[in-house]
Structure 1
Amino acid sequence: MHDDELSGWSTAAFFTDELPRLEELAASDDGFVVEVMVHPDAPADLDYRVGVVVDVSVEVTPTGGHDWFDLGVVVQVDGRSIPFQTVFTALAQGRDKVLLPDGLRFTLDRRFDRLREILDEAGALGDTLKPSVPVSRYQVDLFDELDRLGLVDAQSAAWRTALGALAGGAKPEPVDVPAGVDAELRPYQREGFAWLAFLAEHDLGGVLADDMGLGKTLQTLAAVQRQRDRGAGPPVLVVAPTSVVGNWVAEARRFTPGLTVVAVSETTKKRRAKLAEVVDGADVVVTSYALFRLDADEYQALDWSMLVLDEAQFVKNRQSVAYRCARTLRAPVKLALTGTPLENNLMELWAILSITSPGLFPDPRRFADYYAGPIEREGHQSRLDLLRRRVAPFLLRRTKEDVAKELPARQELVTEVTLNPRHRRVYDQYLQRERKNVLGLVDELDSNRFKVFRSLSVLRQASLDVSLVDEKQADVPSSKLDVLFEMLDDVLAEGHNVLVFSQFTRFLRRVRDRLDEAGTGYAYLDGRTRKRAEAIERFTSGEVPLFLVSLKAGGFGLNLTAADYCILLDPWWNPAAEAQAVDRAHRIGQTRQVMVYRLVATDTIEDKVMALKAAKSRLFASVLDGGTSAASGITADDVRALLS
């Protein structure tokens, strides 16, 4: 005698598949008996059977909110509606079989496999009790996939109206440049303007991520002009770095002279008038990130038709006050302009998109788990491909190589600097000391990040000039300074105009002191320079052939096409910072080949930085330019490599 106990799906399968055969056998064999006993607690309507026709569809209904819809999955088996929670529970648990209490069983086929993935990405499977899943109209690619699965053939008219124009991923139709724009837009600028105009017309936001120097300001001003031509309404608010506010005002007066532009350059405490009085009658209001943050309450209290975030990497940190101010500002359209929407990791891209397209990836933790982690740590190609598709309707990027083919070539070279014996000896002493300080901390990198980065900064400075670490070492000659001045002697003698960049203003001032000793004319710009415009004019007018610029002060807002040589004194693991610097010279308007020299001290931390920077560049290219994936973020292993 053998006893077997069955339950759930196995019981149902036995009753529908095996029991009829046993009963047939019993009918033909008098010695074989089949007894079926029903448990007293069994449902009265229990009837084990197999569902034959399984239909699934998705209903899309507006929630009443501007940006959100309810996505409801409707399943019918042999014409009978199946409870939403039952199917979602199975999907959430990774099951492909469903057994109902009354005995009906059916299988979830391949359509449900893809539906499971889509709903998992949308964050829907975490709660199986809700009758529907909220989705944003920014998640247009998600709707597209449901459509391709044949699940949304009978979509609501509201969805078609709100999303139909973007659903196919086609470029917006060309739009006439407004008569009020006093400029001839290049073909790619016309496309960018049409894209921005389309977003504004549909109350959507996005990121214009063109390379530096391709005219993002002009494209945006054209879109603003078109919006103002369609009806006044509240003004447009432009938030930019302090050094760029004046440039926005000048560009607006040049390209859109019919717009009334007001620059806010003081805090509420310093000016007598309230912000509402200052901006009254303006079409465009331009302010800095600092003032936007300090006077947040005043900006929040006013209505705006559009928010434009120039150099939007300023809001890449979702913990910052500037980010919160931009995220909560009341404006139906929010645009971000930046050539570097991600510099270090994918959460920076999430932060910017959460401002411009807030429903695209609503939850930062889910984005980190589903996209950032797998892509950065594992190079997960399918997640990378999916991320590109999701952001494509709301992020437009063109490179200079693609659209500005008339630009002269840019040649980039690495000049290796061998430390002189005294410099080498002191550097090695610092290296041994910092290794001891740091290597015990890297396993807990997050909690010791400040101490670790301080040690790395010490070694970077020592690679340049050991006196930056200890003034008592001032008599140790800087190998990098010696090589720089050998280069400058040749380059300046040949009549070239040169930009010299450094992350460290103290080292830049050492260059300045040595130029003073030699009697060589130059212009100088760092974060403390008061007469910024005068310094720029000295160089661009040709008064001096040499411009010393700190990366932080000169990484954006400058048009320095007068230069045809760029010298980067110290490499950094963030390639975006260097790219921003070089693009001061290599941009629209440049007619000469641009030579870029990176001075790298051999057998120092700078060698390691160059390798780490290459990984950062691959991450940027993988997400924005269609390259292959690479890891990102500075990890404990990275720190060990930098100190090896």
Structure 2
Amino acid sequence: PTLSLLANYGGDHRLRLHWEWHYKSGNLVTAQPLWRHPGDHGYRDDPAEARILEAVGQPWDVVPALGESATGGWGTPRLAGTAELSGLDTLAFTEEVLPRLQNTAGVDVDTSGDIADYREAEEAPVVAISTKATDQRDWFDLGIVITLEGQPVSFAALFSALAAGQTRMLLPSGAYFSLDLPELHQLRALIDEARALQDNKDAPLQISRFQAGLWDELAQLGIVDEQAAAWREAVGGLLEGGVNGLPLPATLNADLRPYQLEGYNWLTFLYRHGLGGVLADDMGLGKTVQALALMCAAKDHAAAGAAPVEDTATPDGAAPFLVVAPTSVVGNWEAEAARFAPGLTVRAIGETFAKNGVDPAEAMAGADIIITSYALFRIDYDAYASRQWAGLVLDEAQFVKNHQSKAYQCARKLPAAFKLAITGTPLENNLMEFWALTSIVAPGLFASPKRFAEYYQKPVEKNGDKGQLDKLRRRVRPLMMRRTKEQVIHDLPPKQEQILEVVLNPRHQKVYQTHLQRERQKILGLIDDVNKNRFTIFQSLTLLRQLSLDASLVDASLSGVRSSKLDVLFEQLEDLVAEGHRALIFSQFTGFLGKVRERLVEENIEFCYLDGGTRNRTDVVNEFKNGAAPVFLISLKAGGFGLNLTEADYVFLLDPWWNPASEAQAVDRTHRIGQARNVMVYRLVAKDTIEEKVMALKAKKSQLFADVMEGDALSGGSLTAEDLAGLFND
């Protein structure tokens, strides 16, 4: 007998196989198919079949469809009577099985149709990526075309093959290529990521201008064609580090350090292209001055009559910037703007428009910068949303980290082409807080909170997936700038000093003003004879200084009045502790240090404490030096001398000291030989109180502070009736 194979090749790499035995008896040839019709009682010549298979091998090891189970489903498989092959099975049969059959005695092979020229491609597949603008602003349809030797490769088929774990892919021409290429697996992962972050997974594949990191990794895999040129131009600088911002404005009254200049260029690049970002530098590195430099440049750009740059979404530079900050920081922004950007017109909004009775349009007319608090922004949102803004700046942006809060919703909805979040702690408790920030300033980066939670939050927070965490960092890198103090220490002077202006909350301010009026009436009649009334004057000064700190220091029944200064201090400490820094906190009033101590206990922040009543002084100092507590509370008299605390790199002076030398001595507890890090010094000064007046007078008449501090010098000629009147008058 002879085993005959009829092989019929069709299109699309399809192959039909039909086996039968041929028996010759004299001149008569009979054919016996290996397959059977129902009721057919023919038989297979198993011994002859086994002899042939011994020479050919077991073809079902190469193409599984060539075998079928033996009778009863047991034992070694045998040839299937018929088979239909396609794709890679046809290729494997033609290249490996067919030659064996053709060279085996007792087997006749009859082929029909055209056998493709199966061969391995000499080139690697080429990936072309394109974008096409959509009706949605900032979104582009993402096109991916894969070609091999000029032939198109089905994108869907390739992804299906990769998902199925196939190692090769066959083209209609017969050329095939290996799928075991890192770039193809990376392409699949990137497309899966883009698809996973879309709300509607069945919609066309899209990418946002804000997804610069994802785009960069896609583009590195292949050719970015001309359709994507504008997109590439808009984000290229972010990806390559060579951002082209606006010229440094001559109206800026500051010399930017190299890292600040880098930040300024990055900010103005974002602004020019209608992109947003997160400025997340360490506390004390000058985030405010970098933002003010941007605002000066935007005004200069508009004044020069320059046309919109690069992008149709570029904001109108003639419109003002809206700065939203915590209530305690609004005054500081106003002061910093006056210092660094004196050419800008600044308006601070301190009350709701309904309460002050001012028309919003009139209140904001002619301003370059409007500064308001998160509470007022939320209450008067409609007034702010009704006008055009050059940009929205969110200072201490962790205030909008809850994406279900009203403040977040207002910041997200406000119509402004450029939005900037400023915070030293962009990520505090969980990744959804970070999503909230990015969804405001870069709404297309991670469009859906649900998808973000599934793709990033759950793998990172619950499963500790380092790969997803690294991917998240890559995605946000182009739109977030963060420099730590350690990274830029060579650009910094050995010590930086800054005044933090504290705006008293309404209840605190009311208590202070009530006592001020009472003390003013008492003192103004005594100042003509300073020597005679020295004790009474000093007593009133001390009372007003304590009221500036905490009303309950003067009257225990006022413990329900929140200390504005404590609130500002702990806003700073929150960032500082989160960033791993350590701080010395000084006050002349041990009673106020006690208030700080109580708040630290409530906040579960470790601390050490030293005042004049501390008996084990050395032990306490060593505990801070050798321990991990981030905060050391120290009274002026107890800690002004003899301490070397270079373990700390931040100093907070809670109340203005009358003697500059004492202030310097406190700072020098940490800023001294052996200190390898830059020292940041913050002076907390209550606005519209005696503290602010003392600071103003300090520059004019520095000897006054030593006089008041020492007490017995009040009789000297350096403290005049005019000086004292200035402290008590409006």
Residue-by-residue CA offset, 1:599-618 (whole Å, 9 max, x unaligned): xxxxxxxxxxxxxxxxxxxx
* Deviation at residue 115 of structure 1 after TM alignment: 0.5
Is 1:259 aligned with 2:344?
yes
Q: Structure 1 residues 186 and 75, CA, compared in 2 at 3 Å: closer, same or farther? A: closer
**Amino acid paired to 1:585:** F
2:106 counterpart residue number: 31
* Deviation at residue 290 of structure 1 after TM alignment: 0.9
CA contact (8 A) 2:323 2:369 kept: yes
SS in 2 for 1:230: helix
In 2: Cα distance, 1:310 partner to 1:285 partner: 13
Higher strand share: 2
SS in 2 for 1:122: helix
* Deviation at residue 528 of structure 1 after TM alignment: 3.0
In 2: Cα distance, 1:19 partner to 1:378 partner: 47
Residue-by-residue CA offset, 1:149-180 (whole Å, 9 max, x unaligned): 33437663212321222221x15368654222
Is 1:321 aligned with 2:406?
yes
Match of 1:190 among 235, 246, 261: 261
**Amino acid paired to 2:141:** D
* Deviation at residue 134 of structure 1 after TM alignment: 1.1
CA contact (8 A) 1:70 1:135 kept: yes
**Amino acid paired to 2:132:** P
Q: Structure 1 residues 60 and 244, CA, compared in 2 at 3 Å: closer, same or farther? A: same
SS in 1 for 2:487: helix
For residues 229-244 of structure 1, what are the structure 2 equivalents within 5 Å? 229-231=300-302, 232-244=317-329
SS in 2 for 1:184: coil
Q: Structure 1 residues 526 and 166, CA, compared in 2 at 3 Å: closer, same or farther? A: farther
Match of 2:415 among 330, 351, 357: 330
Q: Structure 1 residues 82 and 322, CA, compared in 2 at 3 Å: closer, same or farther? A: same
**Amino acid paired to 1:551:** F
In 2: Cα distance, 1:6 partner to 1:282 partner: 88
SS in 2 for 1:69: strand
1:539 counterpart residue number: none
For residues 361-380 of structure 1, what are the structure 2 equivalents within 5 Å? 361-380=446-465
Aligned length: 464
In 1: Cα distance, 2:288 partner to 2:197 partner: 42
* Deviation at residue 106 of structure 1 after TM alignment: 5.4
Of 267-276 and 383-392, more deviation after overlay is shown by 267-276
SS in 2 for 1:123: helix
2:476 counterpart residue number: 391
Residue-by-residue CA offset, 1:103-127 (whole Å, 9 max, x unaligned): 9865434221010122222236987
Is 1:225 aligned with 2:296?
yes
In 2: Cα distance, 1:234 partner to 1:243 partner: 26
In 1: Cα distance, 2:217 partner to 2:288 partner: 34
TM, length-normalised to structure 2: 0.55
Is 1:162 aligned with 2:234?
yes
SS in 2 for 1:117: helix
2:562 counterpart residue number: 528
Q: Structure 1 residues 401 and 164, CA, compared in 2 at 3 Å: closer, same or farther? A: closer
2:389 counterpart residue number: 304
Is 1:272 aligned with 2:357?
yes
**Amino acid paired to 2:398:** Q
CA contact (8 A) 2:330 2:348 kept: yes
In 1: Cα distance, 2:118 partner to 2:354 partner: 77
In 2: Cα distance, 1:194 partner to 1:301 partner: 30
* Deviation at residue 17 of structure 1 after TM alignment: 2.6
**Amino acid paired to 2:292:** L
Is 1:117 aligned with 2:189?
yes
In 2: Cα distance, 1:6 partner to 1:205 partner: 67
* Deviation at residue 573 of structure 1 after TM alignment: 6.3
CA contact (8 A) 1:237 1:306 kept: yes
For residues 70-85 of structure 1, what are the structure 2 equivalents within 5 Å? 70-85=141-156
* Deviation at residue 327 of structure 1 after TM alignment: 1.1
* Deviation at residue 562 of structure 1 after TM alignment: 11
SS in 2 for 1:401: coil
**Amino acid paired to 1:337:** I
1:436 counterpart residue number: none
**Amino acid paired to 1:15:** T
SS in 1 for 2:462: helix
2:127 counterpart residue number: 57
Q: Structure 1 residues 373 and 332, CA, compared in 2 at 3 Å: closer, same or farther? A: same
In 2: Cα distance, 1:160 partner to 1:551 partner: 43
In 2: Cα distance, 1:354 partner to 1:51 partner: 47
2:271 counterpart residue number: 200
In 2: Cα distance, 1:8 partner to 1:115 partner: 35
Q: Structure 1 residues 22 and 93, CA, compared in 2 at 3 Å: closer, same or farther? A: closer
2:282 counterpart residue number: 211
Of 302-311 and 140-149, more deviation after overlay is shown by 140-149
In 1: Cα distance, 2:83 partner to 2:352 partner: 69
* Deviation at residue 3 of structure 1 after TM alignment: 4.1
2:652 counterpart residue number: 585
In 2: Cα distance, 1:184 partner to 1:380 partner: 43
In 1: Cα distance, 2:176 partner to 2:137 partner: 40
In 1: Cα distance, 2:388 partner to 2:653 partner: 38
Residue-by-residue CA offset, 1:315-356 (whole Å, 9 max, x unaligned): 111111111111111111101111111111122112111111
1:360 counterpart residue number: 445
* Deviation at residue 358 of structure 1 after TM alignment: 1.8
Residue-by-residue CA offset, 1:37-59 (whole Å, 9 max, x unaligned): 9xxxxxx9997956735623233
For residues 400-479 of structure 1, what are the structure 2 equivalents within 5 Å? 400-404=485-489, 406-407=493-494
Match of 1:570 among 601, 605, 613: 601
Of 209-218 and 186-195, more deviation after overlay is shown by 186-195
* Deviation at residue 245 of structure 1 after TM alignment: 1.6
SS in 2 for 1:299: helix
1:16 counterpart residue number: 91
Is 1:137 aligned with 2:175?
no
2:570 counterpart residue number: 551
**Amino acid paired to 1:80:** Q
* Deviation at residue 554 of structure 1 after TM alignment: 8.2
**Amino acid paired to 2:394:** L
Q: Structure 1 residues 98 and 406, CA, compared in 2 at 3 Å: closer, same or farther? A: same
In 1: Cα distance, 2:250 partner to 2:391 partner: 21
Residue-by-residue CA offset, 1:341-398 (whole Å, 9 max, x unaligned): 1111122112111111222222323333333333333443333332222222221122
1:613 counterpart residue number: none
In 2: Cα distance, 1:181 partner to 1:525 partner: 44
* Deviation at residue 258 of structure 1 after TM alignment: 1.7
* Bigger relative CO (Cα 8 Å, ≥ 6 apart): 1
TM, length-normalised to structure 1: 0.61
**Amino acid paired to 1:116:** R
In 1: Cα distance, 2:451 partner to 2:187 partner: 18
Over the aligned positions, Cα root-mean-square deviation in angstroms equals 4.5
In 2: Cα distance, 1:358 partner to 1:19 partner: 54
CA contact (8 A) 1:62 1:158 kept: no
Structure index of larger Rg: 2
1:441 counterpart residue number: none
Q: Structure 1 residues 186 and 11, CA, compared in 2 at 3 Å: closer, same or farther? A: closer
* Deviation at residue 30 of structure 1 after TM alignment: 5.4
For residues 95-106 of structure 1, what are the structure 2 equivalents within 5 Å? 97-98=168-169
CA contact (8 A) 1:261 1:284 kept: yes
Residue-by-residue CA offset, 1:179-237 (whole Å, 9 max, x unaligned): 22223333332332222222212222111112222222121111101101111422111
**Amino acid paired to 1:136:** S
Residue-by-residue CA offset, 1:275-307 (whole Å, 9 max, x unaligned): 233212211111111111122222222221100
